[in-house]
Amino acid sequence: DESEVAEITHYLEKKHKKKVQSNFHGIAKGKNVIVIFLESTQGFVIDKKVNNQEVTPFLNKLKNESLYFPNFYHQTAQGKTSDAEFIVDNSLYPLAGGSVFVRKPKNEFMATPEILKKYNYYSASFHGNDSQFWNRLTMYDSLGYDRFFSKEDYDVNEENSINYGLKDIPFFEQSMPYLSSLPQPFYAKFLTLTNHFPFLLNPEDQFIPELETDQGVVNRYFTTVRYEDEAIKSFFEQIKDTELYNNSIFVLFGDHYGISKSYNDALSEVLGHEITVKDQVELQKVPLFIHIPGMEGKVVNTVGGQIDLRATIFDLLGVDGKDQAFSFGTSLLSKEEDRLVVFRDGTFTTDRYIYAEGTCYSKDTGSKVKRNKCSPYFNQVQNELNYSDKIIYGDLFRFFKK
């Protein structure tokens, strides 16, 4: 109710007061925003070589021409890709069970497309799977998308599809004419699909051979990530041939993990080390690149999560904080001390500590440390998750829209 709205607003205002304006504020004002969801792509594939071959040769190069965030974590739960979409478009946490897309699609939201509408942006989503998957068609309406290009907008046949739908290379290829025809400026998101469990790929699409551990999922993963990398490369080649390239910024990030705990034996063999409780949290890092044509590359070491991505994009676009009611994230480009990344199950990390399975760990040494290093964050962790849940279950944006 209204008193909850006041309490949460107070909490968030206090939180956001801490931040210092970044040096990047407004540098991409008015540009198109192209967000690419890298399906199941975890941070460890970047700069990784298997059998002496790079897994992501294109992304490794793109890194040098982008803001690159090596300490960025996914925060998804059971809603997987739909959670990633929900988090990024709303700067809220996903639910502990199920997907907000399926459970609360009729809520009021103040999502990115709606906020950007005030800045004359058009919003579209591109995805080579059925429009009803994850209830997207319905939810996108609530989020304010103007157009959803889904399976029915593409030429999808047996040859150019695998697993859930259209392969990434033809997906980007067929998307180009649609993208070029959008009113500008636009906010466009592309959801890739080929690097999806159980990581299937036809022999002719395999740019590196599968590995030979005794877990096929791990063996195939590196090969499908390599295919995805090739698809991103082909997308950049095509868009560089258009005038869109210089008028756009590109945000690429991993939506969630691809290799679950159950495959840790084979994964640890490939990574060359044992996977501890602390490593398990670090494995939830996903790559994040923000490529702004004409701008030099830079590694941004800020610790953050998907919840911070919208604030980061808005920082670059110069979109004001006052447009962001109930927004939990803070820009990864702003200098803020003592950042906190909260995972849905209550696990959390700062730049120095990890709290997981009831134990506090030092990130530096990997060893257990005294609980009082982590306990100062306990309250905030609970507040973040509880307040976000209250907004969703109470449909609290209703009160803002009045």
Residues at the site binding Mn ion, with contacts judged by CB under 5 A: 39, 80-81, 255
Name every residue whose Cβ is closer than 8 Å to that of residue 136 and which is 6 or more positions away in sequence: 82, 101, 125, 127, 148, 150
Residue 72 in tokens: 């960025």
Cβ atoms of 351 and 303 within 8 Å: the answer is yes
The residue from 41, 76, 81, 347 that is catalytic is 81
* Pairwise CA distance, residues 356 & 44, whole Å: 20
Distance in angstroms (rounded) separating the CA atoms of residues 305 and 43: 13
Would you call 276 a catalytic residue per the annotation? no
- Based on CB atoms, which residue is closest to ligand GP9, 40 or 334? 40
Q: Does 80 bind ligand GP9 (CB under 6 A)?
A: yes
| Closest CB to Mn ion among residues 218, 340 | 218
Answer yes or no whether residue 163 interacts with ligand GP9 by CB under 6 A. Answer: no
Nearest-CA neighbor of 302 among 350, 270, 268? 350
And the tokens for 391? 């907004």
Residue 107 binds to ligand GP9 (criterion: CB under 6 A): no
* DSSP per-residue letters across 115-153: HHHTTT-EEEEEESS-TTGGGHHHHHHHHT-SEEE-GGG
Cis peptide bond upstream of 198, omega within 30:
yes
Among 44, 119, 164, 178, binds ligand GP9 (CB under 6 A): 164
- CB closer to ligand GP9, 32 vs 81: 81
In angstroms, what is the minimal distance from the CB of 189 to ligand GP9?
11
- Closer residue to ligand GP9, CB minimum distance, 134 or 148: 134
C-alpha span between 192 and 255 (Å, rounded): 10
Of residues 133, 178, 245, 399, which one binds ligand GP9 by CB under 6 A? 133
- Quick one: what does residue 44 bind among Mn ion, ligand GP9, none, with the CB cut-off 5 to 8 Å set by partner type? none
Q: Which of 63, 104, 196, 226 binds ligand GP9 (CB under 6 A)?
A: 196
Give the residue with the Cβ less far from ligand GP9, 196 or 285: 196
Residue in 35, 166, 191, 300 binding ligand GP9, rule: CB under 6 A: 191
The SS3 of residue 205 is: helix
Q: CB under 5 to 8 A by kind: which of Mn ion, ligand GP9, none does 11 bind?
A: none
Is-contact 59 289, C-beta < 8 A? yes
Chain residues binding ligand GP9 by CB under 6 A are: 80-82, 129, 133-134, 164, 191, 193, 196
Q: Which active-site residues does the annotation give? A: 81
